């Protein structure tokens, strides 16, 4: 039986060599911003929570879902970088939480 790589652990990704050639494009297709990232964190999906936010775009108010880590210590893994986001995505056949820390 294949064991899940996200069941109870965190995976820190520090380079593009972790991904197969099509995986970055697959993440982009799920609205993950993969531009200029410093590192990523894969965590179990139950580590994040969704909240709805309102954003103003060209005079229109749009609703958007943003994810954040439920646990403060997990949220701290992305602190100190320029722009940090959590995503709920399907990756390698599993639903995961993906934290992306971007460079300037």
pLDDT in the model for residue 40: 92
The answer to the question of residue 6 being in a domain is no
The answer to the question of residue 16 being in a domain is yes
pLDDT in the model for residue 71: 84
Enter the tokens of residue 64. 């958007």
| pTM of the full structure | 0.81
The answer to the question of residue 23 being in a domain is yes
The answer to the question of residue 4 being in a domain is no
> Which residues span the domain enclosing 18?
11-102
In Å, how far from its chain's centre is CA 23? 14
How many secondary structure helices (H) and strands (E) does the chain include? 2, 6
CB 85 within 8 A of CB 31: no
Total domain count, the chain? 1
The answer to the question of residue 24 being in a domain is yes
For residue 25, pLDDT beyond 50: yes
pLDDT in the model for residue 28: 92
For residue 18, pLDDT beyond 90: yes
């Amino acid at each position: 039986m294949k064991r899940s790589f996200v069941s109870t652990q965190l995976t820190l990704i520090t380079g593009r060599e972790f991904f197969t050639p099509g995986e970055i494009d697959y993440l982009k297709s799920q609205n993950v911003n993969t531009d200029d990232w410093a590192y990523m964190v894969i965590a179990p999906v139950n580590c994040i929570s969704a909240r709805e936010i309102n954003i103003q775009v060209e005079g229109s108010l749009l609703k958007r879902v943003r994810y954040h880590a439920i646990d403060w210590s997990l949220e701290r893994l992305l602190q100190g970088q320029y722009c940090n986001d959590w995503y709920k995505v399907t990756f390698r056949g599993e639903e995961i939480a993906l934290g992306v820390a971007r460079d300037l």
